[in-house]
Structure 1
Amino acid sequence: MYKPSHFNVDDPAALHALIQAHPLGCLVTQSEAGLDANHLPFELLQDEGGPLRLLAHVARANPVWQQLADGSPVLVVFRAEQAYISPNWYPSKHQSHEQVPTWNYRVVHAHGRLSIRDDEKFVRGVVGRLTRRHEARASELAGNEFAAWKMSDAAPPYLQKILSAIVGLEIAVERLEGKFKLSQNKQPEDRLALAQTLDAVGRADMAGEIRKFEPGSPGR
């Protein structure tokens, strides 16, 4: 990934936080069948003193788990906020007319080695972790009108059928790359005006990330 120095992020905490907040990753693989991409929810784990791992599962009918050998190199792409940026949103454009359109975004690339985990205990654990984390959030978003779904809510024969129809994946992460393209290469007055405009057009998420890179902001 091309990473100009002003957009490069190598702080592990920031990279882990993006993955955890945006866990739907694009798993990119290369096999004899060619390039492939699968969009999967991942769980990021790191046991004390252990390696960083990404856990996921795929449908047994998905050929990807049979096309790759254990130890195959893979890439997982995680993307957070993204937004088109008009040059008109920079005050300097109206003075010099030297701004052009661009796109702002935050992404993390996870490079690692894949292991196929075709065993029920592993698969049950992955589904359990994903369920606990995301059901808690889903229940909160629904105003706690609905109780968080639990695996035990499903009839045992039905749950067994579902678990037998999926295969686990485990990726030992060897390297993380982060690129947070948030107009850091622009002048302070342009960044401030851009954040204000993004707020006005309903993109407070991107505006907030841009403000985090201002001098004196928390974490800067």
Structure 2
Amino acid sequence: MYLPTAFRQDDLAELHAQIRANPFALLASAGSEGVQANHLPLLLEPEEGEFGTLYGHFARANPHWRELQGGGEALAVFSGPDAYVSPGWYPAKVEHGKVVPTWNYIAVHARGPVELIEDPERLLQIVSRLSDHHETGRPQPWAVSDAPREYLDTMLRAIVGFALPIRRLEGKWKLSQNRSAADQAGVRDGLTASPHPREQTLAAHMAQEG
């Protein structure tokens, strides 16, 4: 990922928080069939390894997992809030007019070797933890154990799990840090006034960074 110093995010807690807030990742890898990419919900276990470990699963019918046999490396991309930035929000537009549009966003890239998991009990642990994580806080949380075990066994045979111990973790917080304080405030105000929650969230991040 192209990572200018002004936009670089190295705080591990912040990186982990973004992964947890945006767990639906793009998992990409290169193999004999070229580059493959799939959209998968991933679970972060932050205490496992230097940067944490990601867990997920493929449908067995998905050929992507076969390209990762033997510990192939994969890249998980977690996309946070993003927004178009209008030049009209910059006070600099009135001053000299030398402004152009851009895009602000938050993204985290996690890279590491993939360990495939086909053992039924380990698979059950993965899907149980993943479901428990997303059911937390619901009035009547569903649990994997609510389903008949015979049915679960059938479903588990239809997936291949994986662990991805993170070896390299990068974060990019592109929040107009390369603009003047006045221009940053203009962008923040413009995003705050947006009717779109995603853009309002990005404005809140700008306020935190400021």
TM bucket, shorter chain? over 0.9
Give the aligned partner of residue 163 of structure 1. 156
Give TM-score scaled by structure 2 length: 0.93
Alpha-carbon distance in 1 for matches of 2:35, 2:174: 27
Runs of 4+ in 1 over 3 A off after TM superposition: 46-51
Judge which range, 20-29 or 63-72, deviates more.
Answer: 63-72
Query: What's the CA shift for 1:49?
Result: 6.6
Amino acid at match of 1:190: D
Matched, 1:175 2:168: yes
Amino acid at match of 1:213: E
| Percent identity of equivalent pairs | 41
Matched, 1:211 2:207: yes
Query: What's the CA shift for 1:95?
Result: 1.7
Q: Is the partner of 1:124 in helix, strand or coil?
A: helix
Amino acid at match of 2:132: R
Alpha-carbon distance in 2 for matches of 1:108, 1:209: 15
Query: What's the CA shift for 1:50?
Result: 6.4
Give the aligned partner of residue 133 of structure 2. 133
Query: What's the CA shift for 1:213?
Result: 1.4
Alpha-carbon distance in 2 for matches of 1:93, 1:123: 56
Query: What's the CA shift for 1:63?
Result: 0.9
Gaps of 5+ in 2: none
Q: Quick check: 2:82–2:106 contact (8 Å CA) kept in 1?
A: yes
Give the aligned partner of residue 75 of structure 2. 75
Give the aligned partner of residue 29 of structure 2. 29
Q: Quick check: 2:72–2:114 contact (8 Å CA) kept in 1?
A: yes
Alpha-carbon distance in 1 for matches of 2:2, 2:209: 20
Counting only pairs closer than 5 Å after superposition, residues 35-46 of structure 1 correspond to structure 2 as 35-46=35-46
Gaps of 5+ in 1: 215-220
CA shift in 2, pair 1:40/1:168, >3 Å: same
Query: What's the CA shift for 1:2?
Result: 1.0
How many residues align? The count is 207
Q: Quick check: 2:29–2:73 contact (8 Å CA) kept in 1?
A: yes
Q: Quick check: 2:49–2:166 contact (8 Å CA) kept in 1?
A: no
The CA RMSD measured in Å over matched residues stands at 1.5
